[in-house]
Amino acid sequence: MPASERRAGLMPLLGAHMSVAGGLAAAFVRLERAGGEALQIFTRNQRQWRAAPVTAEEAASFRAAWHRAGGPPVAAHDSYLINLASDMPETVRKSGAALAGELDRCAALGIDFLVMHPGSHLGGGVKEGIGRFVYHLDAVLADSDSAVTVLLETTAGQGTNLGARFEELAAMIDRSRHPQRLGVCFDTCHAFAAGYDIRTPATYHRTFAEFDRLLGLDRLRLFHLNDSLNGLGSRVDRHTHIGQGEIGLEAFRFLMNDPRFASRPMILETPKGDDLAEDIENLTLLRSLVEMAGEK
């Protein structure tokens, strides 16, 4: 997009989660092919407990590719296996070690944000689960030398997953001894599935007014932009392409034109193939929703 539009803050920072097949630095090549301006990656296989640290060569290659790409905002997403709200000691031990490794890899690569799911209470109840999550998260943060910000992701509330209500995320941050290290990633599909409607001006305003009241919009550091295959309040996490699900196009128009979020990175996590055609189509569609100054 024209540099003048970016400087004027007229266009959101849109991008996508990209594969790191072929090396971490390869994600920037894919981002450029898709025409993205913000990136999310997994620093290691997201479905394995054991993960090697980032080597000096990997870090140098990644940072060089990042520089060549113009320095877009980059976030990492943690492993899906991590559950700090578990009541099983072995799971908590592995989760703590895995999260510490995630923070170390982000620091080595220069990545400022690590997105994580708050985990599942596994039947112990929301209050108990939040207590366990905060206790174990604080232990990891206290031992970490990095300055990486952990972004708690809004969830759909499937099963016993925590983080479907803004009140739960607020409780996690309020109870933490390290609130300055915590922020929020707002996933549109997850929030919608959890019961937060953003499809009309009134419901959009109400949802973000509630977020602001409970968490503060300054905590909202990153968006995941996904339409939802399932309906409002379904508590089912199923992503689909922008405008092709139950959320619909107007909600994304509101987001694209909300001046409060003009500087926030917004990341697609929609289905795609190796040619990235779907990412290109979704990004093009989102940009078409932006209303320039003077438009009605």
Active site residues: 47, 77, 80, 117, 153, 187, 190, 224, 237, 239, 269
Please give the sequence-ordered ranges of beta strands (E in DSSP) within the chain, or none if there are none.
13-17, 39-41, 74-77, 113-116, 149-153, 182-187, 220-225, 227-228, 239-240, 265-268
Among the listed residues 143, 197, 133, the one whose alpha carbon sits nearest the alpha carbon of residue 171: 133
Among the listed residues 100, 106, 194, the one whose alpha carbon sits nearest the alpha carbon of residue 138: 100
Tokens matching residue 157: 């509330």
Residue 220 near residue 262, CB atoms below 8 Å: no
Among the listed residues 32, 35, 108, the one whose alpha carbon sits nearest the alpha carbon of residue 65: 32
Cα dihedral 20, 53, 89, 167 sign: negative
Residue 58 near residue 22, CB atoms below 8 Å: no
Strands 265-268 and 239-240: unpaired
